[in-house]
């Protein structure tokens, strides 16, 4: 059985003022948390209700299979046009066992004028005859929750900037100069009762719902709804995060870890089967497609040996993202459905962006 681990709690409701000692302390605590475990807990999310978030997840996953599959991505429903956003089903026999629905920024679709970039496609929300008012409720409240989680992520990035002695808008352009690729997802992990691959069954009898992985982009803001099941790999040992009702779990993604030159930890984690349906709501905070990721967090936060001599070579975020997403079963067919210009721009040449942790280690995340 894994030991428990206690995470630092960051209060983002404190006054954002450089003269306020409590605010400065919260910023220092955040840097310490990201530099050690790569995880922390957050309180003080503005206009956020975990009860509302849970009601959204339960409403969606209670829909009929046919209703959900109308929203499925092209990889699971060939008659659909949506490639990146929408529903993905449980895939029996795979290491991971989950179904999910994910949405992009509300402006996506309307700003994708030529309709030729699937990463910016409009999210297909439920539109069910006889349930019109419920569907409107779901979409409107889903967008409101997303706004609250995005606020948390914006605030944490401002805190990193402040702690490094930089202007608080140090990272602002990456996430606001164009439509960001941030993903707002709800997940249901059903109890595994059949077709469980051997790799998902641990020696002690525990069963994996999502295999060991590091998140992709900058930050993950995660609502666990007070449920257990999330484990971190610390010094080679698996440790439980205790249920934390009323608090959001936050962790570092691989891209931000690289921009910190390794000071921030993109900690490996996994999800375990808890013997009943488990719900979660992660918000993956990511910049816009062509934002340049070839720069670092404020240099005062880096060790002297890690300060680069120059950061002139342009490296777009979409190249990093597309190189990684294929390790997950829900994105296995993504690149096959991208237009030729995207493959040429982001994937056809060596842009100096290294492979993700899983590919470097040869780890299987979702395979069967």
| CB-neighbour burial class of residue 42 (10 A; exposed 0-12, middle 13-18, buried 19+) | buried
Residue 367 lies in a domain: no
Distance (Å, rounded) from C-alpha 281 to C-alpha 352?
33
Residue 366 lies in a domain: no
Q: Answer yes or no: are the C-beta atoms of 120 and 112 closer than 8 Å.
A: yes
pLDDT tens series, the chain, 368 aa: 458 999 999 999 876 666 778 889 999 999 999 999 999 999 999 999 999 999 999 999 999 999 999 999 999 999 999 999 999 999 988 899 999 999 999 988 765 555 689 999 999 999 999 999 999 999 999 999 999 999 999 999 999 999 999 999 999 999 999 999 999 999 999 999 878 999 999 998 999 999 999 998 899 999 999 999 999 999 999 999 999 999 999 999 999 999 999 999 999 999 999 999 999 999 999 999 999 998 899 999 997 767 666 666 889 999 999 999 988 989 989 999 999 999 999 998 767 777 787 788 787 778 65
- The whole model's pTM is what? 0.95
Host domain of residue 250: 3-361
User: What region, left, alpha or beta, does residue 115 occupy, with left being phi > 0 and alpha being psi -120 to 50 degrees?
Assistant: left
Q: Dump pLDDT digits (tens) for 144-202.
A: 999 999 999 999 999 999 999 999 999 999 999 999 999 999 999 999 987 899 999 99
How many structural domains compose the chain? 1
| CATH code, domain carrying 150 | 2.60.120.330
Task: Tell me the pairing of strands 3-5 and 237-241.
Answer: parallel
Task: Tell me the pairing of strands 39-43 and 248-252.
Answer: antiparallel
Residue 318 lies in a domain: yes
Residues shown for the chain: 368
Task: Tell me the pairing of strands 278-285 and 237-241.
Answer: unpaired
Q: Closest Cα partner for 228 from 245, 203, 215, 211?
A: 245
Task: Tell me the pairing of strands 269-272 and 208-213.
Answer: antiparallel
């Amino acid at each position: 059985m894994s030991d428990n681990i206690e995470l630092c709690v960051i209060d983002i409701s404190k006054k954002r003022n450089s003269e306020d000692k409590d605010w400065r302390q919260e910023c220092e605590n955040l840097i310490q948390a990201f530099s050690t475990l790569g995880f922390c807990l957050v309180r003080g999310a503005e206009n956020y209700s975990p009860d509302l978030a849970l009601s959204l997840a339960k409403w969606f996953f209670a829909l009929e299979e046919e209703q959900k599959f109308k929203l499925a991505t092209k990889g699971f429903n060939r008659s659909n046009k949506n490639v990146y956003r929408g529903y993905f089903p449980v895939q029996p026999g795979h290491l991971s066992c989950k179904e999910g629905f994910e949405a992009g920024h509300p402006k996506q679709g309307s700003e994708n004028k030529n309709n030729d970039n699937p990463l910016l496609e409009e999210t297909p929300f439920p539109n069910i005859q006889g349930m019109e008012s419920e569907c409107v409720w779901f979409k409107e409240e889903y967008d409101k929750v997303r706004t609250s989680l995005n606020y948390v992520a914006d605030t944490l990035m401002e805190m990193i900037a402040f702690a490094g002695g930089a202007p608080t808008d140090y990272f602002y352009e990456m996430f606001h100069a164009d439509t960001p690729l941030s993903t707002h997802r709800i997940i249901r992990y059903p109890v595994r009762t059949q077709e469980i691959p051997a790799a998902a069954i641990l020696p002690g009898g525990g069963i994996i719902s999502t295999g060991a992985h590091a998140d992709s982009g900058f930050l993950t803001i995660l609502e666990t709804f007070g449920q257990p099941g999330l484990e971190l790999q610390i010094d080679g040992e698996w440790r439980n995060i205790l249920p934390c009702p009323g608090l959001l779990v936050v962790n570092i993604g691989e891209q931000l870890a690289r921009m910190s030159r390794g000071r921030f930890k993109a900690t490996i984690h996994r999800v375990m089967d808890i013997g009943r349906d488990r719900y979660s709501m992660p918000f993956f905070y990511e910049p816009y497609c062509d934002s340049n990721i070839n720069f670092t967090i404020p240099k005062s936060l880096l060790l002297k040996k890690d300060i680069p001599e120059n950061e002139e070579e342009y490296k777009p975020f979409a190249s990093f993202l597309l190189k990684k997403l294929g390790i997950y079963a829900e994105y296995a067919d993504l690149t096959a459905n991208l237009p030729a210009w995207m493959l040429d721009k982001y994937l056809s040449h060596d842009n100096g962006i290294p492979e993700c942790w899983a590919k470097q280690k040869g780890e299987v995340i979702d395979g069967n």
